[in-house]
Amino acid sequence: MCGIVGYIGKRRAQDVLLSGLSKLEYRGYDSAGVAILHEGAFQLEKSVGRLSVLADRLEVDPLAGSQGIGHTRWATHGRPSDANAHPHADCSSAFVVVHNGIIENYLELRDDLMARGHQFASETDTEAVAHLLEEHWTGDLMETVLRALRDIRGAYALGIMAAAEPGKMIAVRKHSPLVIGIGEGENFIASDIPAVLEYTRNVYILEEGELAVVTAAGVSCFTLEGVPVDYKPFRVTWDAVAAEKGGYAHFMKKEIHEQPKAVRDTLSGRLLDDGTRIDLPELGWSEAMALDIDRIHIVACGTSYHAGLVGKVAIETLARIPVDVEIASEYRYRNPIVTDRTLILVISQSGETADTLAALRGARARGNRVLAITNVVGSSVAREADDVIVTWAGPEISVASTKAYTTQLVALYLFAAYVAKLRGAVDPQALLTLAHELTEIPEKLEELLDTAPVIEEIAREFSAWSDAFFLGRGLDYAVALEGALKYKEISYIHAEAYPAGELKHGTLALIVEGVPVVAMVTQDDVYEKSLSNIKEVKARDAHVLALAWAGDTQTHKSVDRVLYVPRTIPFLAPLMLIVPLQLLAYYASVARGNDVDKPRNLAKSVTVE
């Protein structure tokens, strides 16, 4: 997973490329590079490290030229280094290539090309593409690219230029996202829309297996067989500012604070204004369709998987359909037991996660109906699923997922209610209560965000420890898992979540004096049990922070500190609990001086296995 950008027009290419890459750093940031064509020759500048290293170099030694490609890398084949940074060139620097994805047969290609005398300068799979172009050169770039692609197996989004064809750039998409930005007298390619928004709002998302020939004057699209295709750009209506930090120190903080709006937007049009009815008009299912479902498999990765765990409880409780929640990287290689009535529900913020996409494709190949919950309208997941529920969280830039999770939960609650109603599985009064409580969530989230200064202080204390434990039962446990992931992901502190009742079966041995424990006690049916479990860790002198409902009168007696969250029904507790957990992780990361938005070894969009 990497970020690609390309420009052709009248501006200084280096500026456009650097600006575009800065919007794509969430896709990978271990090295960056640009190739700019000037007076018939490529100038390459690449450097290991953050984009700022490259930008500093280019500031000292700017590159002339108004046509170029750039890349920000998340290493897969070959460690992060100057040599492995993209763009890559062939032996004679006649072609330059940037790539996102994996060329699966690159070792084979490399051996073959080396046997033919090609010299490789990097350890990457991508470099093989540049040499293949050299090998297949016919005098026509598009024809050459199409020939070279026939030799390649794998996933790719490619940006390609040839010194012999100035004024032209080729973009190709196969299993990795790529968009074309259409300007006036200038055009762009990029892995994601925010990279071009500063310059144009007219965007075309390349389809699977499409190639675009991009010049300053226009864009033509073709299949990989070279057949011209009609394409229809669309106008991006969301604001470029939405993708910027907007005054916050980090994208993560901004995105945490955007949750009331994100939830409101996700509910909009799906809850009647008076809060009395839940609907998902985009699905338009009949009662028969809902009744036909015999089981649901929820498939996702990371935070989206954790949202799925809450979704299981929501769907089973309301609709009484059995649900299994599966990690996509496991599911895709299993032979799951499904019938033709099993619904596969994939959840993915980006809609480009390779494992989730593969699970989706496997499910469709088995003949199952696939419903996707995603945050990106034009993503692969959205386009390949049978039905889509979009979470209107807006662009999420920080690697640590926050507002995407909250809106995934909202989408799952809505879906559970929608199916339950169609199946006649739920008391209408319970749905009315749920609808009413959902309408109040955004306001309660706003109230909760005001507790940030208290959490900052707690996080500072906790961040001195090398471990933290997150405990809960039922839905509290599902959120504990997400809280622990957030905490470890950005603070680099070992964090684990446990069902509180499971502690005494081993984990209690890890509880020592002062160790931070975050315990959640919002589930009324196991309230007493949860308090007993808290007493077990307190008896071992752990430092316990409890998250409890406002008005709770008991919890404070058993813990060191309580953070009270605005009350809603226990069923919706995850929507409340997650905010303090996100803030705790955020401030622990800040206290440790970490790069909050770009945690080490991670990337926002995991488009490779």
Catalytic residue numbers?
2, 604
The secondary structure of 500-537 as a DSSP string is: GGGGGGTGGGG--TT-EEEEEE--GGGHHHHHHHHHHH
Residue 494 in 3-state DSSP?
Answer: strand
Residue list 473-502, contact with ligand M6R (CB under 6 A): 485, 489
Q: Per rule CB under 6 A, is residue 221 in the interface with ligand M6R? A: no
Residue list 374-413, contact with ligand M6R (CB under 6 A): 399-401
Strand order in the sheet with 323-327: 323-327, 295-300, 342-348, 369-374, 387-390
Q: Per rule CB under 6 A, is residue 302 in the interface with ligand M6R? A: yes
C-alpha distances out from residue 7 to 59, 130, 496, Å:
19, 19, 45
Of these, 67, 126, 200, 348, which contacts ligand M6R (CB under 6 A)?
Answer: 348
Nearer to ligand M6R (CB atom), residue 87 or residue 351: 351
Q: Per rule CB under 6 A, is residue 358 in the interface with ligand M6R? A: no
Q: Which residue is nearest to ligand M6R (CB)?
A: 302
Closest separation between CB of residue 231 and ligand M6R, Å?
26
Q: Per rule CB under 6 A, is residue 555 in the interface with ligand M6R? A: no
At 607, list the tokens: 């488009």
Closest separation between CB of residue 306 and ligand M6R, Å?
8
Environment class of 284 (CB within 10 Å of its CB; exposed 0-12, middle 13-18, buried 19+): exposed
Beta-carbon contacts of residue 444 (< 8 Å; ≥ 6 apart): 565, 566, 568, 576
| Strand duo 202-205 + 179-182: pairing | antiparallel
Q: What is the DSSP letter of 62?
A: P
Phi, psi of 364 (to 5 degrees): -65, -35
Beta-carbon contacts of residue 150 (< 8 Å; ≥ 6 apart): none
Which helix or strand (DSSP H or E) is residue 300 part of? Answer: strand 295-300
Closest separation between CB of residue 482 and ligand M6R, Å?
8
Closest separation between CB of residue 338 and ligand M6R, Å?
21
Q: Per rule CB under 6 A, is residue 346 in the interface with ligand M6R? A: no
Please work out the total of residues on this chain that contact ligand M6R, with binding judged by CB under 6 A: 15
Residue list 253-272, contact with ligand M6R (CB under 6 A): none
Q: Per rule CB under 6 A, is residue 304 in the interface with ligand M6R? A: yes
Nearer to ligand M6R (CB atom), residue 356 or residue 368: 356
**HEC profile of 549-578:** ECCCCCHHHCCCEEEEECCCCHHHHHHHHH
The separation between the first and the last C-alpha atoms of the chain, rounded to the nearest angstrom, is 10
Q: Per rule CB under 6 A, is residue 301 in the interface with ligand M6R? A: yes
Other beta carbons within 10 angstroms of residue 230's beta carbon come to 5
At 200, list the tokens: 């144009």
Query: Which region among 90-98, 235-243, 296-304, 575-583 touches ligand M6R (by CB under 6 A)?
Result: 296-304
Query: Which region among 36-44, 171-179, 346-354, 546-554 touches ligand M6R (by CB under 6 A)?
Result: 346-354
Q: Per rule CB under 6 A, is residue 30 in the interface with ligand M6R? A: no
Query: How far, rounded to the nearest angstrom, does the alpha carbon of residue 195 sit from its chain's CA centroid?
Result: 16
Closest separation between CB of residue 302 and ligand M6R, Å?
2
Residue list 55-114, contact with ligand M6R (CB under 6 A): none
Q: Per rule CB under 6 A, is residue 606 in the interface with ligand M6R? A: yes
Nearer to ligand M6R (CB atom), residue 127 or residue 489: 489
Closest separation between CB of residue 263 and ligand M6R, Å?
17
| Amino acid letter, residue 96 | V
Of these, 176, 356, 380, 530, which contacts ligand M6R (CB under 6 A)?
Answer: 356
Environment class of 528 (CB within 10 Å of its CB; exposed 0-12, middle 13-18, buried 19+): exposed
Q: Per rule CB under 6 A, is residue 353 in the interface with ligand M6R? A: yes
Closest separation between CB of residue 357 and ligand M6R, Å?
9
Closest separation between CB of residue 587 and ligand M6R, Å?
16
Q: Per rule CB under 6 A, is residue 303 in the interface with ligand M6R? A: yes
Applying CB under 6 A, which residues contact ligand M6R?
A: 301-304, 348-350, 353, 356, 399-401, 485, 489, 606
